[in-house]
Amino acid sequence: MQSRRSIAERTIARTRERGMPIDGDVEYMTLVELWIEGEIDIQAMRQRYNELLAHRSADRKARRDKSSFSQSFKPVPVSNNAADASIDLPSIDEVETAGVFDDAADRPPRDEASPTG
């Protein structure tokens, strides 16, 4: 029967060969050492590692959410002059002729005398 240390060493070597080294993860290697020493069984090691991954994932999500929130709510300079604020707004005639709710080119001209428009 092989010792736990040799099993762990072979597993670490295989993951390194596959381009996914695990021995650089200090927290994971701590769990491996606890297993090698017989302080925890493989099920406890798996459970703790899954909890570690869930915690890391939640931390990344919280950082990402915080980052996207701060990026999407940057202050925008606003003019105090009402004339400046309306410069980019289209006139009422432009909005009506542009067909806000449908394409104006696909419907007949509106009869101004008609109540349904």
- Alpha-carbon distance 116 to 3, whole Å? 86
Amino acid type, 39: E
Virtual CA dihedral for 37, 29, 27, 33, nearest 10 degrees? 10
The tens digit of pLDDT for each residue in 41-79 reads 999 999 999 999 999 999 999 988 887 766 665 666 665
- Averaged pLDDT score across all residues of the chain: 77
Domain boundaries, given as residue ranges, for the chain? 4-70
Q: Is the pTM of this model over 0.75?
A: no
- Alpha-carbon distance 34 to 27, whole Å? 11
